[in-house]
Structure 1
Amino acid sequence: MAVRHFFLILLVVSIWAFNNVAVKWGLLEIPPLFLTLMRFVVVAVLLVPFTRITRRQLPYLLTLGFTFGFMHFSLLFVGMKYTDAGTGAVIVQMGTPIAMVLAMVVLQERLKPVQLFGIAISLSGVAVLSGSPTIPAWWVLCLLLCSASGWAISNLVVKKTPAIHPLAMTGWMALFAIPIVGLTSLSQETHQLYALSHASWRGWFGILYSAIFSSIIAYSLWYGMLRTYNINLIMPYSLLTPVFSVIMGVVILGDSMNQFKICGSLLVMLGTAIAVINLRSLKMHARFPRLRRGRSGR
């Protein structure tokens, strides 16, 4: 991997990690579904007028509007309202092994025994986290796992989507997510406009940071990397997101630490690392960078 791409990915995971802090600030003042809706409105307004899509791309973007817009973001924001930034980020990290299992089932990609072992360790970490006081109820855990599944499905859809500019994908995906997220907010929440009009800088910062930095900048860079490199080479770097999120949550938000959170987080990240990091492949990439470059299509 080119050095500039390594630092771009490091920037992406840092933006995503701090996004959990920004979202927690926003959730202090704005209902979660409405916060999600406002995020997508900002993204769509900034990107859709300047991008174009084709009829062939439309079904994929409609699918992503549901899997990424509603399943991932809406359920993540609702779950984050009831847990801390670090715990939410760790559980959503399960999207990586979930994506691998789905790739095995849907795309017929084979998983090695060591990868299955890693996935099992990650699941045991979720079981440990379920006993943490930072997860107040079983349904909060289920919401976050469904959010992780939405992220996993979306990554598979992106790999199958006809060539499309990352900014166009981000903008139109946000546009197609607006109706379902908006209707859900309308039916499940109240006083949304009042909350928005009385929000302080924290509420608006949560919306704007999540929309501009996390959506437009970070996800555009991420999709670009997925187009350039093999998904199994990119995925391991996402392991840094929950690590940074836990640290930022403790330092900035004053989140607490307990044995369930520490042990569960370590198991999830260790298991995911075992599942996605191919040591033999990494050694080959390190020894033969030109060979790697040819395989990645660069």
Structure 2
Amino acid sequence: MPCPPPCGPPWPHAASQCTASPPESHLAPRCPVAPPPGGLTAPTEAGVCSSSFGLSCQRPQTEGRRMHTKDKFLAALVILCWGLNFVAIKWGLEGIPPLLLGALRFVGVVFPAILLVPRPAMPWRWLLAYGGAISLGQFSFLFCAMKFGMPAGMASLVLQSQVVFTLLFAMIWLGERWQPHHWVALPLAGAGLYLIATHGEGNLTLLGFVLTLCAAACWGLGNVINRQIGLRYQTTLPSLIAWGGLVPILPFLALSWLFEGPELMASSLLNISWQGFLCVLYLSFVATWLGYGLWGRLLMRYPVAQVAPLSLLVPCVGMVAAALLLDEHPTPLQWLGSALVLLGFVVHLLGGRLRWFKPQTAA
């Protein structure tokens, strides 16, 4: 849906602190963020920083400001774009193999934008690491998962387990300490994922579920890499989207040639349908440039804690859209699991602001 990158979008931590999950984590002033479904980035307010791992940041100057009606409409538009993203992927996979679809997606993201924006001011090794995790790793696993039996609606929800992987990777490699509410949120989300995986009754394959978790793990790894980039370098949203999207194109094409075969690649390109072509355009321009652009605009106008909870609606829209447009019908236990996962995300998002999760201090 989202940070987060799309990653997902930012996740507030406390009244005067904030964190980001994203298909997108806010890092340093004017730094990139890994947001929901897409793993690309959105900018923060000047002087505001956050991360997926509970790092503190200064309070935005716009705190308490009411969101204008126009911006509420734009927020709803972003949520709709990201929720429908998974339906578009499913439709695109009907005529295009998953790895080739990944290559076409990023060709649309990169060109002609790469001709208009400068390369981010960072060494190539960091750009390669970021693009390899967020773009190549996340989307190769996600597209293959949805090709091999992962329903679109469930994919929109399970992919948000990137929050769990981000916390784990940050603890292992960055020495981040978990907050009390994290220990409550993660078992809730884990129990929900277990119900989703074990009670599909044929509408969800184990392979698809595992591949979606791998996609979420790549997104979480990308968040940690994004954190390091934000600490070391200054960059902008358009440059990171365009140049970060350049990294996976050749690997996607090579993997498609190796695993899907040159005959299928040629046949898919020569016989691409209007549905497939429009799906590629949607994934490249609507879900990426429009979605992350509008999300970044909201983050520049309003505090993170005000915008971030809206990202919880992305998997809700994804599941409803999949039910209406793809005739996907989760079992009752899968709905229960989905509710537990969302509850875990709510605790992760808002738990640091609740009194009973805060350490007590002597009077």
With the shorter chain as reference, the TM-score category is 0.7 to 0.9
- CA deviations on 1:43-92 (whole Å, 9 max, x unpaired) are 11121111112452533221121101111111111111222210111110
| Correspondence for 1:150 | 218
Selected match of 1:268 from 318, 331, 341: 341
| Correspondence for 2:201 | 133
Displacement of 1:116 in angstroms is 1.3
Selected match of 1:178 from 249, 263, 283: 249
Structure 2 gaps, min length 5: 1-62, 356-363
Q: 1:227 to 1:245 in 2, by over 3 A?
A: same
For residue 185 of structure 2, give the secondary structure of its aligned residue in structure 1. Answer: helix
| Correspondence for 1:258 | 331
For residue 85 of structure 2, give the secondary structure of its aligned residue in structure 1. Answer: helix
Selected match of 2:169 from 92, 102, 125: 102
Displacement of 1:105 in angstroms is 3.2
User: With CA pairs under 8 Å and 6+ residues apart, which has the higher RCO, 1 or 2?
Assistant: 1
Does the 8 A contact of 1:86 with 1:247 survive in 2?
yes
Give 1:75's aligned amino acid.
F
Selected match of 1:119 from 163, 183, 186: 186
Pair 1:25-2:98 in alignment? no
| Correspondence for 1:47 | 113
Displacement of 1:139 in angstroms is 2.4
The 1-side partners of 2:202 and 2:304 are apart by 32
Selected match of 1:89 from 156, 174, 192: 156
Displacement of 1:171 in angstroms is 0.8
| Correspondence for 2:45 | none
Q: 1:148 to 1:163 in 2, by over 3 A?
A: same
For residue 247 of structure 2, give the secondary structure of its aligned residue in structure 1. Answer: helix
Q: 1:77 to 1:47 in 2, by over 3 A?
A: same
Does the 8 A contact of 1:129 with 1:135 survive in 2?
no
The 2-side partners of 1:269 and 1:108 are apart by 26
Q: 1:134 to 1:88 in 2, by over 3 A?
A: farther
Give 1:172's aligned amino acid.
W
Q: 1:200 to 1:268 in 2, by over 3 A?
A: same
Q: 1:148 to 1:237 in 2, by over 3 A?
A: farther
| Correspondence for 1:211 | 284
Structure 1 gaps, min length 5: 283-298
The 2-side partners of 1:207 and 1:96 are apart by 27
Q: 1:223 to 1:216 in 2, by over 3 A?
A: same
Does the 8 A contact of 1:87 with 1:134 survive in 2?
no
Q: Taking structure 2 as the reference length, what is the TM-score of the superposition?
A: 0.70
Selected match of 1:56 from 112, 116, 122: 122
Displacement of 1:127 in angstroms is 0.8
Q: Taking structure 1 as the reference length, what is the TM-score of the superposition?
A: 0.84
| Correspondence for 2:319 | 246
The 2-side partners of 1:104 and 1:222 are apart by 28
| Correspondence for 1:168 | 239
State how 1:73-88 maps to structure 2 within 5 Å: 73-81=139-147, 82-88=149-155
The 2-side partners of 1:252 and 1:237 are apart by 23
The 2-side partners of 1:117 and 1:261 are apart by 20
Which structure's residues are more often helix, by fraction? 1
Identity of aligned residues (%): 27
| Count of residues paired in the alignment | 282
RMSD: 2.6
Q: 1:147 to 1:18 in 2, by over 3 A?
A: same
